Structure 1
Amino acid sequence: MSQRLALLACAALVATTCPGLSARAADQTPAGAPPPEPARIFAPLASPQPVNAYRSGSGAPGPLAWQNGADYDIKVSIDPTNKTVTGSEVITYTNNSPGDLDTLWVQLDQNIYKEGARADFSSPERHANHTDGFSIESVSVGDDGHTTPIQPLVSDTRMQTPLPQPLPKGGKIKLRITWHYTVPGPWGGRTSVTPSKNGDIYEIAQFYPRMAVYDDIRGWDTAPYLGQEFYLDYGDFDYSVTVPANFIVVGSGALANPAEVLSQEQRDRLVTASKSDQRVMIRTQADVEAAIAPPPAPVTATPSPAKPDAKAEAKPDKAPTTKTWRFHMSDSRDVAFVASAALLWDAAKLDLPPVAPAPGKPPAPRLAMSVYPVEGIGSHGWDRSTSYVKHAIEYFSEKWYPYPWPNAINVGGHGAGMEYPGIVFDGMQDRDPMLFWITTHELGHGWFPMIVGSNERRNAFMDEGFNTFIDALASDHFNHGEFAPKHDSEYAPDTGKPADDIIKVLKDPDAPVLMAPSEVVSEKYRHPITYFKAAYGLTLLREQILGPDRFDRAFRRYISLWAYHHPTPSDFFRLMDSEAGEDLSWFWRGWYFNNWAPDYAVKQVSYVDGDPKKGALVQVANHGWLPLPVVLQITWADGSSARMTLPTETWMLRNEITLQIPGSQQIRTAVLDPDRAIPDVNRADNSYGAVPTAAPQQH
């Protein structure tokens, strides 16, 4: 076997052809026709974002790279009687850009629920419930006692706030906003109230006016919110949530006042959890039942006659009707929380290095947590959630980049499958592989786009696709592959082989390309393109083009260089080229800018001078516009076999090649891509299965 492999490695090129170039544009052509044009496939690629002082040719941030910042101090309260959230915030905004800013733009995501919002027309199926959106009560700038009222201009989901004086480079300003809104019901998990057996569950996200991003690409990026997620700057968060006293609140970051809101028993359980690899119940079913039980009826007693000299007995204070939970989150782009009386709570330790605590606070343990109603209880359900959380955070931290925040929380509620820094919202009814997959996927968003802050509203594949790629690897890793390989019913057809599953998309003439703006990708194609095709592209890079060692090193470098920054697709393409040591323009062009596909064929098998003892001639043709490396497997008459890989460079000047294969006997089969590892769109011509008859000797 080893001898045959060595011989195949020395196979000679004995004949080539290069047909004329087609007049039809390749990007207008579905895979398979017309013949590929090497001059176009391998032409230099002009990336959309140019190289400049802010973004380098290596894909790293440039020498003059800058990024603005936003710190938040937020106070909110929930009124369950009318399901409203009322809040105030102080945003400390820092201008690090090269020029002055004479206005600030703020995102008002709750306005997506207003009747007549743009999202009502772009995605009407998502907006069954309408509200009045954000009611902005006041806006001002300045410090306490020296504030200047601002008359904002609200446009759909954006608010423009002109400044009294321009904010210079390096300057800071405090923007103060008060507001309230009605929680719009259980839609989507973006901010919702969901009924459960023991009470409503408030999954609260996008609950405060958030700064828009001002960057070197567009200035103010004011794309309206249509439901396709977010683009945010980084900063530190202090936020408090006031709720009824029988509620618990679990949110992004670290709880800053546990002694004020938790019982001693619950605090002791948290200490135990911080030392345990197995989950520890922090709030049990009995605790939930006690919290929702009606208060005991007052006891009526016959008063004793008062004695003139008796001192008045001190009456105990009434139990508070509300509690305020305070949290701190550093180096984040967002926060979210869940609040309810109905939630069980369990936790286990995260085996990660400690992180810096809030100012003035001792280091706190880092915990994997789950909160869910009684509907989630069960050995096939949420009893295992925290083990899934713990695995995901520890695996991604070791494999790609360290998790930066104190806790990681999985919430069982409406079931939106939605992610925020440090907390994700999943479904109370999720079970077994679905619970594992959704938990791992949503937590994987902690890396894309919570750490690597790409623009989801414009390039969704950079978070959904990249995250789907890493969470599929996590499925392989968990508990010896208990839930592997990862499947998704929306990746139709689901054969278990990604190369086969993607072919339907590659052959669909109406399928959008990965570089299409996120908002123009219809729901029909959102999963197949934004998630699956983007993830599978990284798999092809890792497994078929670069190899795991080169890919993993380059991908880790991408994450570390762009952590807490804003990369574009161009930055990613350049960095992978530079770090992996390859010009991958042909792949970026074919897979990201077009829906091109590989299509190889074994055209003919013959023998040198018609004599099998002199070796075979195998003619291979390329009919596809995405010339991925492809394996050719030769099996001889005696059953022995060997393989060789045809690299992409094979097709730089030609569409056909004849390989001289050393050997001394007839070939039984010649098969291209025997493992179905690449998405060849026509496998019918990938093999030569008959034993060819020797041609007469020429004299």
Structure 2
Amino acid sequence: MRSFFPFLGLALCLEPALAARPAPSQNMPLSMRPVFDTLVLPDAPNIWRSGSGRPGSAYWQNRADYRIESRIDTTSHVLTGTETITYTNNSPDALDVLWLQLDQNLYRKDSRSWVAFPDWHPASSDGYAIERVTLETNGVEKSVPFRISDTRMQVTLPAPLAASGHALKLHVTWHHTIPGEWGGRTAVTPVKDGAIFEVAQWYPRLCVYDDLRGWDTLPYLGQEFYLEYGSIDYAVTVPWNFTVVGSGALTNPQDVLTTTERARLADAAKSDKPVLIRTPQDVLDPNSHLAHSGEKTWRFHMENTRDVAFAASPAFVWDAAKLDLPALPVAKGQKPQPRLAMSVYPREGAGPQAWDRSTEYVKHAIEYFSSQWYPYPWPNAVNLGGHGAGMEYPGIVFDGWQDKNDVLFWITTHELGHGWFPMIVGSNERRHAFMDEGFNTFIDAYASQHFNHGEYAPKKDAEFAPETGDPAKDIVPVLTASDAPTLMMPAELVPEKYRHKVTYFKGAYGLMLLREQILGPDRFDAAFRAYIRAWAFKHPTPSDFFRFMSSEAGEDLTWFWRGWYFENWWPQYRLDGFSQSNAKPGEESTISIGVRNEGKLMMPVTLRITWQDGSRTERVIPTEAWMLHDRLNLTFPDHGAVKAIALDPDQGLPIPDRNGLTITPAVTNHP
């Protein structure tokens, strides 16, 4: 797609049609009012969310901080845990109950998800066993009543938690069985040197209480997350021969790593090339571990995060390289920690075009997204080669150990891109999936162009341009399908048939159209970066995004939001008549070209005249040209014989029917 700037000066001569107008098609009503009329966005501006799309003057957000102690019984696959949640109520409301998410209950055969989507569940478990819930007051814990409803738990407080910054401490003790292979979100994956435990959505987590709905308690049916931010300290106890990697920074390396492993990590912190921390030979050598029996506890810390996940296995090959990013702030008297790109994978995943290159891909993704959009805020970024469904968590992503070549690059880059959407910009994935999947697919498509002089460009996978690799062509069947959902359709109502095509691909391609065809890269990039800064570690809605981009870019984009997000509209133009005039003495000879609009998505469209001498004349017809008309006449100074006339000559627009977009007049037409 070629970048161009459509809002240039355009002299349009609106003349009577050269011939009788045919009746408008079903997609082209005589009145443009349905296209250009006022769009009432779902969430009205108020003191919490401003009309500019920024957080309002009274914007608030609650906070959840966690301390978690956990242990995996690697024989029974039971994960036990105790957690202390410090919950801060910054809302203007006193809260008489708390709601927590119990995502592991998804695996119960009586869960709503299991009944609603039985094909998604090859593995099952009994879900959470909540052993104890207590509230701590002045250092004393007292049991509080709770009730479980599917994947949620309501805790009744003995007295309301006061508003405006008051906090409480809640303790929860629990256990659950880690299911077998399923979806990459929580799994036990067998490989030849042991099992890989991929542990995510593993501890009870606070639901979000916000200004839009109060408690947002959508049941977990598979559509990912909406979580509060905070700091998380967590510990994982595993057998002596296991290696653990996870979100955040390892805080006790001296307790779990050998002198050799720590030295190799120090070397990696100075190296642009991956350094092996645990080699394939180490995997087979019991003496490569710090201990030779019993268990070890690995401790991690992560600031300003929605979640944490980890992976544990005796089978990990582990490599790392430095991230060229500024050092993160540290407390006075402490040394800055190295920032590392890491990969862990089984020996059978190694190979020169396989996981040997994973850390190279991790390093590029984190550094590119940081320079292009917003600085990466956490110490490490980890790519796990395991079950392979492709799943993202802050600081760690779960990919497939069998991936290689372009597939490994694309999945690694895509999942790490989720660090920005929705891990930094904390949108509600359970309701508005396009705000994470679509936005992320958009940024990782450009990362494919950037990496190693376009080694894996253009991005061609199930998430972007899945059929031909040409987004303008691949989107047409989605736009014209009568049963295709819109981007604003609630996430759970998007059928699997359209999940990637609409949520990922249409969501990404819409931003590409906005960047390449409507605003231009300079205006779009500045506005999009400002949006990320404004909503970093906060909770924007689609309405906030639409308002922000219109305000910051300085363009009324109502027509685009309506046509691309609330509807499945498309552009459709035709050339409709061409003539060259015989000028009177002293007057300039002109050429007149008719253009008809038959669509509802009024994309700026380029009209190009190619003259017989090889020169070109171009004008961009802006969206506003169609506010009161469905046909225009454009006049140009005559430059001699015309070789060709074309609308959208570079085929950058998703126009379903490209007939009538070009005219090749005979040379004899010129007087």
TM range (shorter): over 0.9
Shift of 1:33: 2.6
**RMSD of equivalent CA atoms:** 2.4
Correspondence list, 1:27-38, <5 A = 33-35=27-29, 37-38=31-32
Task: Kindly indicate whether residue 381 of structure 2 is the aligned counterpart of residue 413 of structure 1.
Answer: no
Residues 124 and 358 (structure 1), Cα distance of their counterparts in 2 relative to 1, 3 Å cut: farther
2:548 maps to which of 558, 568, 575: 575
- 1:550-592 deviation line (CA, Å, top 9, x unaligned): 0000000000000000000000000001100001000000000
Paired residue secondary structure (1:278): coil
Q: CA deviation at 1:177?
A: 0.5
Cα 1:239–1:582 change in 2 (3 A) is same
> What is the distance in 2 between the residues matched to 1:335 and 1:318?
26
Is 2:452 the partner of 1:452?
no
Secondary structure (helix, strand or coil) at the match of 2:284 reads: helix
Give the AA of the match of 2:211: D
| Correspondence list, 1:89-128, <5 A | 89-128=83-122
Deviation at 1:640, TM superposition (A): 2.9
Instruction: Please tell me whether the aligned partners of residues 610 and 695 of structure 1 are also in contact (alpha carbons under 8 angstroms).
Output: no
Give the match for residue 236 of structure 1.
231
2:646 paired residue number: 671
Q: Which position in structure 2 is the counterpart of 1:303?
A: none
Aligned to 2:597: 622
Separation in 2, partners of 1:688, 1:480: 37
Distance 1:23 1:326, change over 3 A: farther
Partner of 1:390: 363
SS at match of 1:13: coil
| Structure 2 residue 529 is matched with structure 1 residue 534 | no
1:140 corresponds to which of 134, 145, 150: 134
Q: Which residue of 1 aligns with 2:281?
A: 286
Partner Cα separation in structure 2 for residue 139 and residue 599 of structure 1: 60
Quick one: distance in 2 between partners of 1:609 and 1:624? 34
Residue of structure 2 equivalent to 1:256: 251
Runs of 4+ aligned structure 1 residues displaced above 6 Å come to 610-613
Whichever residue aligns with residue 690 of structure 1, its letter is: P
What is the aligned partner in structure 1 of residue 65 from structure 2?
Answer: 71
Cα separation, 2, equivalents of 1:392 and 1:694: 55
What does 1:345-364 correspond to in 2, within 5 Å?
345-357=318-330, 361-364=334-337
When residues 618 and 9 of structure 1 are mapped into structure 2, their CA distance, relative to the original with a 3 A threshold, is: farther
Q: Is the 1:105–1:161 Cα contact (8 Å) retained in structure 2? A: yes
Contact 1:16 1:654 in 2 (8 A): no
Partner of 2:636: 661
CA shift for structure 1 position 491:
5.0
Please report how far the alpha carbon of residue 497 of structure 1 lies from its aligned counterpart in structure 2 after TM superposition.
1.7
Q: Give, in whole Å, the separation in 1 of the partners of 2:14 and 2:437.
A: 45
Matched, 1:212 2:185: no
Q: Quote how far apart the aligned CAs of 1:129 are.
A: 1.4
Percent of aligned positions with the same letter in both sequences? 59
Equivalent residue letter for 2:360 = S
Give, in whole Å, the separation in 2 of the partners of 1:9 and 1:227.
Answer: 49
Taking the aligned partners of 2:9 and 2:531, their CA distance within structure 1 comes to 34
Distance 1:99 1:283 in 2: 51
Q: Is the 8 A contact 2:200 2:309 kept in 1?
A: yes
- The 5 Å alignment of 1:600-639 reads 600-608=573-581, 614-639=589-614
CA contact (8 A) 1:17 1:655 kept: no
CA distance in structure 1 between the partners assigned to 2:138 and 2:393 by the alignment: 31
State the Cα distance separating 1:363 from its structure 2 match. Answer: 1.8
Q: Which moved more, 1:610-619 or 1:400-409?
A: 610-619
Give 3-state SS (helix, strand or coil) of 2:281's partner: helix
Pairs within 5 Å for 1:129-168:
129-143=123-137, 145-168=139-162
Letter in 2 for 1:255: L
Give 1:46 deviation, angstroms.
0.8
Secondary structure of residue in 2 paired with 1:485: coil
Q: 1:318 to 1:469 in 2, by over 3 A?
A: closer
TM-aligned CA distance change 1:364 to 1:621, over 3 Å = same
Matches of 2:182 and 2:250, distance apart in 1? 28
User: CA distance change for structure 1 residues 65 and 492 in 2, over 3 Å: closer, same or farther?
Assistant: closer
| 2:545 aligned counterpart, secondary structure | helix
Shift of 1:70: 0.2
Structure 1 equivalent of residue 50 of structure 2: 56
TM-superposition CA deviations, 1:609-644 (whole Å, max 9, x none): 599982211000000101100011112233332221
Q: Is the 8 A contact 1:542 1:552 kept in 2?
A: yes
User: Counterpart of 1:526 in 2: which secondary structure?
Assistant: helix
Aligned mate of 1:688, from 656, 663, 666:
663
Query: In the TM superposition, what is the alpha-carbon distance from 1:263 to its structure 2 partner?
Result: 0.2
Q: 1:32 to 1:367 in 2, by over 3 A?
A: farther
Map 1:15-34 to 2 at 5 A.
Answer: 15=15, 33-34=27-28
- Per-residue CA distance 1:143-177 (angstroms, 9 max, x = gap): 48511212211000000000011000121111111
What secondary structure does 1:272 align onto? helix
Aligned to 1:203: 198
Letter in 2 for 1:370: S
| SS in structure 2 of the partner of residue 260 of structure 1 | helix
Offset at residue 390 of structure 1 (A): 0.4
Instruction: Indicate if the aligned counterparts of 2:240 and 2:291 stay in contact, CA closer than 8 A.
Output: no
**Per-residue deviation, residues 391-412 of structure 1 (Å, max 9, x unmatched):** 0000101110000001000000
Q: Which residue of 1 aligns with 2:5?
A: none
CA change 1:36–1:187 in 2 (3 A) is farther
Instruction: Decide whether aligned partners of structure 1 residues 161 and 634 sit closer, same or farther in structure 2, where only a CA change above 3 A counts.
Output: same
Which residue, out of 272, 278, 281, partners 1:277? Answer: 272
- The more displaced of 240-249 and 677-686 is 677-686
Q: Whose Rg is larger?
A: 1
Change in CA separation of 1:188 and 1:357 when aligned onto 2, cut-off 3 Å: farther
Shift of 1:12: 4.3
**Matched AA of 1:621:** R
Counterpart Cα distance in 1 of 2:149 and 2:15: 65
Once residues 481 and 76 of structure 2 are traced to their aligned partners in structure 1, the CA distance between those partners, rounded to angstroms, is 48
The answer to whether the Cα contact below 8 Å between 1:424 and 1:442 also exists between their aligned partners in 2 is yes
1:189-233: CA deviations, max 9, x gaps?
A: 111100001000001000100000000000000000000100000
TM-score (structure 1 length as normaliser): 0.91
Residue 15 of structure 1 deviates from its aligned partner by 1.1
Q: Secondary structure of the equivalent of 1:559?
A: helix
Contact 1:36 1:624 in 2 (8 A): no
Distance 1:154 1:412 in 2: 34
Closer/same/farther in 2, CA of residues 231 and 17 from structure 1, 3 Å limit: farther
5+ residue gaps in structure 1? 1-7, 25-30, 296-316
1:517-528 superposed matches below 5 A: 517-528=490-501
Q: Which residue number in structure 1 is paired with residue 302 of structure 2?
A: 329
**Relative to structure 1, is the Cα distance of residues 598 and 235 closer, same or farther in structure 2, using a 3 angstrom cutoff?**
same
Supply the distance in 1 between the matched residues of 2:427 and 2:30 (Cα, whole angstroms). Answer: 33
Whether the 8 Å contact between 2:465 and 2:505 is mirrored in structure 1 is no
How many Å apart are 1:688 and its aligned residue?
Answer: 1.4
Alignment partner, residue 485 of structure 1: 458
Deviates more, 1:260-269 or 1:494-503: 494-503
1:47 paired with 2:20, answer no
Contact 2:79 2:178 in 1 (8 A): yes
Q: Tell me the amino acid that sits aligned with residue 498 of structure 1.
A: P
Query: How far has the Cα of 1:653 moved from its partner?
Result: 1.1
Residue 685 of structure 1 aligns to a residue whose secondary structure is coil
Structure 2 CA distance for aligned equivalents of residues 339 and 36 of structure 1 = 63
How many Å separate the matches in 1 of 2:603 and 2:76?
Answer: 59
Name the count of aligned residue pairs.
Answer: 659
Counterpart-to-counterpart distance in 2, 1:23 and 1:682 = 18
**C-alpha displacement at 1:360, in angstroms?**
7.6
